[in-house]
Amino acid sequence: MMTAKQGKLHIGISETRTLTGRVARFLGAVPTWILWFFVVVWTIPTFGLFVNSFRSKDAQRNSGWWMAWQDGANDYGGMTFENYADVLGASATGGLANGLLNSMAIAVVATVIPIAIAAFAAYAFAWIDFRGRNSLFIITVSLLAVPSQVSLIPLLQMFSGGAHFTLPIIAKTVTVFPDFDLAGTIPAVWLTHTGFALPFAIFLLHNYISGLPRELLESARIDGADHFTIFRKLIVPLSIPVLAAFTIFQFLWTWNDYLIALTMIGGNREMLPATVVIASLAGEFGRVEHLLTAGAFVITVVPLVVFFALQRFFIRGITAGSVKG
Amino acid sequence: MDKVMSTVAAVVFVIVGSALLFVGANKLFDLATRRWSAFCTLVGAGSMFSVFGLLWGNRLIEQPVAVTATALVLGGLTGYVLSIISSGTLRLYVGTVSGVLLGTLLGVFLKQEYRPVNEVLVLILLIGFSLAVGLLIWHRKGRRTSVVRPLLLWATIGWIIGVFFYPQIGPGSLAWTVIAAAITGAGLGAWVGMFPQPDLAMKRDISLGSRKYIFLTPALGFILLTLVIPLIRTIWMSFLTGLPKELVWTGLSNYKYMVTDPNIIDFSDWREIFTSRLFFVGVGVLVIGLIVARISGRRTGDRLDLNGGSLAAFSVALMMFGLAFFTVVRGTISNNLWWIFVVTIFSTGAGLAMAVLTDRSKGERVAKSLIFMPMSVSFVGAGIIWKFMFVARPPVKNQTGVLNSLWVLIGELSNSATAVTVIVVILFLMLIGLLYLAFRGYSAGVTTVTAGSLIASLPFMWLIYRFLGHDLGGFIIHNGEVFSNPILFLTESPFNNLWMMIVLIWIETGFAMVILSAAIKGVSSDLLEAASIDGATESQRFWNITVPQIAPTIGVVVTTLIVVVLKVFDIPKVMTNGNFDTQVLANEMWQRAFTELNFGLGSALATVIFLGVLPVMWRNIRRIQEQRAST
């Protein structure tokens, strides 16, 4: 393993002298201290937001969250759910409750549809023989790092006016995608998320599905099962772990998404998901910051619950999906 | 409540509808082997429904409901009849007649404003041309089938282009439209009718061969529609300028604008890089690193020894040079590069450190979960969480953000003589401890410890110096009274950029940690044991065995982070919206395109982001190819 390629890095086997005694023991304990120091630092921001979300407006403005235990003594009124009631109610903010409903509608469809479509394609790429399969697969999967920014303008144009293709020379315009007037609606977000999820989803599911034992599929085929039956009765049940990992990844991706919803729904306030509602609240930080604590915690709590409940799938999905565009 | 119900209904409708579509397509082609007549009826009806439905959707026909329904019934009927008769001539007749009927239907009900003009000469030329193409293809395919059927199809294609697509649309007559459509129908109908009645093997081929299309079309269609075509269009639009509906070709003007606009990239003060304090600190640390590397190099026989200590010094120097560069060269692109530089290095470094620290330590799982947790928070949520960390209240009020409270606390301490004395004594003792450690390390020959403690002692010296000068921390003295003086983390340029990067580092460190931790656990324990038997210290094992082995994984983490950071949008958008010199490419693109409606410049900026990702895409393709080659 150790080759000349590593240049100046070398195994220092000649150096046998080491530090001993108390110094060594002291040095040995340092890493643990550093680790837990980092853990505390990493947790403080979220924890602070959580504590603050239960404090009254005056309390939040006049002292830090670490003073929460003194709120009663300072006439700030102790713990309160007021912020949550205010931010969820329609009056002050344009309704985070409405936003949560929209978020849920976006996330559910934009998770289920891509996972189904990707499973079909992954199965086809793995187990149906056809010409050009390899190159088609590589082209599809290579698109997974394409940043969503490159699609936003044409997609919005398509959703708001249809897609038309003018044939060169004869100058005839053909409508490829009719104008359904989708701009500003949730279906526009579904379509965009679905398209963007697919290359990664196909990649992830294909890795797993193509690794299933060949004998199993072949014996099913000998028994007379067709592709659809094999897919339904063998592939789907066997792929539950990877389907779960992708479901969690995609659900959180769409739940946490801001850019695509902001672009595709834009000014249609009724349809905005929670992230966009909260982000626009953040724009008026000074006026509504006490609501912002509760609001930010509400949109964060869903991913946190998923995270702590399904950590294993979650980490697998998130880490695999980090290359996604 | 209404809204809840309608949302649930829409969600269920879409999901069930899509499922039925897929299952239906599969069931339909299952019929091909079992119930051929039903299959043919459904295919006939379905294909007519799609053709007329498409015309309907594009608002091309009068009475769309009735016409589409008629076409559907006619198509289904034709399919059924064709499925039961096997005489070749009869099939041809049936196909042709029903094609003529369907064509006439279309011709009569095509909206008046779409009636084509008759242009015979071009029509003949086009048919001739497409016949030639058909003949050539038939010849190249090895003349296996009869020439009549392909030629008929190609002639019909030529006819369709010649009557509907080439000529002027609108002032044409009804009679010609009906003739044009009827002959189109006759051609296609005859082509269908010429297929012989398939035997069982052929039916099986149809059933089996259709599956790849059924399984792949949804995915490839979506990818084409939302990724490939928009990508090409964005690149094309980056060469256009003007209002959204009046874009005209102006070549590279958007790109020229980008490199000349000082908001996007501004090199004008570049000389200040070499006079900034950061640059001098960088040079100093670099010299220390070189000295450390030289000294320990003498022991190992290398000219310069790269170990933990010297590498740490080099990284600090690199960071200082980077900061010197990015605080002087301003603009959107520079900001974005700065983000990439800082976030990538720190997330990878911190992730690696966490991975090493958590490895085999007590409470590994708890520590890892807590560090990974920010990864589940949305960027919007993270931006808001950190807005509260960074908040700066007016000087007369209490600071409610953690960071500014600490800063003000330090200010208060450094302003009181007793506190300073206590702190300086503590710091001094720690400094002595570090120097002692350095000495012990030197005499024991463990240069890493020496270098590490020497470098760690530098901040202590600096802190002592600043505390003795009573000028550390956030406070102002006004008329003898002390006020807090918070740092304006988000509004003070250029370092506000750096503070916002902390948010992304906070998120991405967990990601780097998980990936690298898995890689570290995969390092061969035999090798590590062998080295330890030979007397290698822990840090030697880490730098000489672990690091080289996980180098490819570090590469993956770095490239992934580069892609993530290149597209960073939500955090700047939520925290500053690009104000106070914190603009980044993605936000600039969004503002230019969707608030100024400058689609040309927006597309050009998007193209720049895409070009940044291109090398990573290339790498991915290579990796996948290798993976597939090896299996």
3-state secondary structure (DSSP) of residue B377: coil
Q: Which chain A residues touch B305 with a CB distance below 8 Å?
A: 8
Q: What's the pLDDT tens digit per position in B357-371? A: 888 777 888 888 899
For B58-117, the three-class secondary structure string (H helix, E strand, C coil) is CCCECCHHHHHHHHHHHHHHHHHHHHHCCCHHHHHHHHHHHHHHHHHHHHHHECHHHCEC
Q: Kindly give the pairing relationship between strand B240-241 and strand B475-478.
A: unpaired
Could you tell me which of B382, B620, B245, B587 has the C-alpha nearest to residue A149? Answer: B587
Which of A23-32, B76-85, B130-139, B492-501 bottoms out in mean pLDDT, i.e. has the lowest? A23-32
Q: Give the phi and the psi of residue B235 in degrees, each rounded to 5.
A: -60, -40
Strand segments, DSSP code E, in A21-168 are 163-166
Question: Which residues make Cβ contacts (< 8 Å) with residue A27, sequence separation at least 6?
Answer: A19, B437, B449
Contact yes or no for B548 and A61 at CB 8 A: no
Nearest alpha-carbon partner for B450 in B466, B462, B438, B436: B438
CA distance A10 to B572: 43
* Tokens read off for B187: 């051609």
B234: confidence class by pLDDT, cuts 50, 70, 90: very high
pLDDT at A325: 55
Q: Which residues of A touch B398 (CB under 8 A)?
A: 62-64
User: What are the pLDDT digits (tens) for A38-62?
Assistant: 999 999 999 999 999 998 888 888 8
Amino acid at A85: A
Which letter does DSSP use for residue B226 in this model?
Answer: I
Yes or no: say if A197 and A116 are a contact pair by the CB < 8 Å rule: no
Q: Give residue for tokens 């048919």.
A: B127
Cross-chain CB nearest to A322 (options B57, B544, B560): B560
pLDDT reading at A14 higher than 60: no
Residue B587 has pLDDT above 70, yes or no: yes
Residue-level pLDDT at A160: 84
Quote the CA–CA distance of B324 and B277 in Å, as a whole number. 8
Q: How far apart are CA B475 and CA B616, in angstroms?
A: 47
Among the listed residues A150, A283, A12, the one whose alpha carbon sits nearest the alpha carbon of residue B447: A12
Q: Measure the CA angle with vertex B225, ends B222 and B230; round to 5°.
A: 135
Distance set, CA B391 to CA A59, A66, B487 (Å): 15, 15, 9
- Can you tell me whether residue A27 is helix, strand or coil? helix
pLDDT reported for residue A169: 58
Q: Do A27 and B449 touch (CB under 8 A)?
A: yes
Indicate if the pLDDT at residue A11 is higher than 50: no
ipTM entry: 0.86
pLDDT digits (tens, 9 = 90+) for B289-306: 888 778 777 766 677 777
Asked if B609's CB is within 8 angstroms of A145's CB, the reply is no
* Contact predicate B576/A283, CB 8 Å: no
User: CA of B420, closest CA in chain A: separation in Å?
Assistant: 24
Contact A258 B222 (CB under 8 A): no
Question: A64 near A49, Cβ under 8 Å?
Answer: no
Question: How many angstroms separate the CA atoms of B501 and B342, rounded?
Answer: 7
What is the rounded distance in angstroms from the CA atom of residue B379 to the CA atom of residue B386?
10
Out of A151-155, A165-169, B34-38, B392-396, pick the least confident: A165-169
Q: Using pLDDT thresholds of 50, 70 and 90, give the confidence band for residue A17.
A: very low
- CB B380 to CB A256 under 8 A? yes
Q: Mutation test of the interface with chain B: which of A87, A106, A151, A177, choosing the one with the most B Cβ atoms within 10 A?
A: A151
Please determine, for residue A310, whether its predicted confidence score (pLDDT) is greater than 70. yes
A178 pLDDT above the threshold of 70:
no
Coil vs helix vs strand at B541: helix
Read off the pLDDT of each residue in B568-584 and give the average, rounded to a whole number: 91
DSSP state string for B558-594: HHHHHHHHHT--HHHHHHTTTTTTT--HHHHHHIIII
Write phi, then psi, for B248 (nearest 5 degrees): -125, 155
Condensed to tens digits (0 to 9), the pLDDT of residues B87-142 reads 888 999 999 999 999 999 999 999 888 888 888 888 899 899 999 998 898 888 87
* Chain A residue with the nearest C-alpha to that of B578: A283
B422-442: burial string, b at 16+ Cβ within 10 Å, e else: ebbeebeeebeebeebbebbb
Give the mutation candidate from B26, B27, B33, B226 for the A interface (greatest A CB count, under 10 A). B226
d(C-alpha B214, C-alpha A226), whole Å? 13
- Residue in the structure block whose two tokens are 């009900």: B109
Q: Using an 8 Å CB-CB cutoff, list chain B residues near A250.
A: none
Chain A residues within an 8 Å CB radius of B500: none
Which positions ≥6 away from A218 have C-beta within 8 Å? none
**pLDDT category, B434, cuts 50, 70, 90?**
confident
Distance CA B620, CA A137 (A): 13
Question: pLDDT band for position B471 (50/70/90)?
Answer: confident
